[in-house]
Amino acid sequence: MRDFPGFYSESGLFVCFEGGEGAGKSTQARRLGDRLREDGHVVVLTREPGDTPVGAEMRRIVLDPATGELADRTEALLYAADKAEHIHAVVRPALERGEVVITDRYVDSTLAYQGAGRALDVDELEWVARWATEDLRPHLTVLLDLEPSTGLTRFEERDRIEGESLEFHQRVREAFLGLAAADPDHYLVLDARDDVEKIAIAVLDRVRGLLS
């Protein structure tokens, strides 16, 4: 199987937030976006799945409990299609314009949820996800690490994936931590139990370092 070495955009900055449910990704992505705009940067705040018209359809299918059971491979391909469109229509054009792109979830979510969670072959899955994204890698992935039993209590309603077992979410957490440990230069792992502002400052420090 072909190896994917990873492609890092030479223009712009690509930052990704990853982590389990309720870890605070959306909260921190918004805060980082606001502060970088105050610093004078042009920021594109985006997310997976669902930030393109096609992606919104994919999001509805994969997350709506009314969808019911899907074959694991079907689910993985729907996420991959969302990523392909997202990179093509949103992420790459913004990076080529020299902007900061902040995405709430990316390829690591596929490796963690469809790989460790659903137990699909991770090498095969990674091949599909890397192919879909032209192997574009974030300059930095911020992993907000949280015990799943805590994260799941931050919500009242559960979608198709949030409704999975605690063991499923534990495997997802371990997979995220494993990805971060394998590539420390491109990850910032933070304890998501910390105060929102403390986390935001740690993220901003690291990102400002990359921008200077």
> Of the candidates 109, 145, 180, 190, which one interacts with ligand Z5A according to CB under 6 A?
109
Contact pattern for ligand Z5A over residues 17 through 36, marking x by CB under 6 A: --x-xxxxxxx---------
Q: How far is the CB of 93 from ligand Z5A (least distance, A)?
A: 19
Classified as helix, coil or strand, 111 is helix
* Between 12 and 151, CB nearer to ligand Z5A: 151
Please choose, from the candidates 81, 119, 110, 103, the residue with its C-alpha nearest in 3D space to the C-alpha of residue 29: 103
| Dihedral angle, C-alpha 181, 50, 81, 130, nearest 10 ° | -20
**Residue 154 interacts with ligand Z5A (CB under 6 A): yes or no:** yes
Q: How far is the CB of 108 from ligand Z5A (least distance, A)?
A: 8
Of 36-44, 89-97, 154-162, 177-185, which part binds ligand Z5A (CB under 6 A)?
Answer: 154-162
Q: Which residue has 């093509």 as its token pair? A: 88
* Between 40 and 68, CB nearer to ligand Z5A: 68
Of 32-40, 87-95, 135-143, 192-200, which part binds ligand Z5A (CB under 6 A)?
Answer: 192-200
Kindly report the length of the chain: 212
C-alpha distances in Å from residue 13, one per residue of 23, 47, 49, 149, 187: 23, 15, 20, 33, 14
* Between 79 and 176, CB nearer to ligand Z5A: 79
Amino acid making up residue 131: W
- List the end-to-end C-alpha distance of the chain, in Å, as a whole number: 38
Q: How far is the CB of 98 from ligand Z5A (least distance, A)?
A: 25
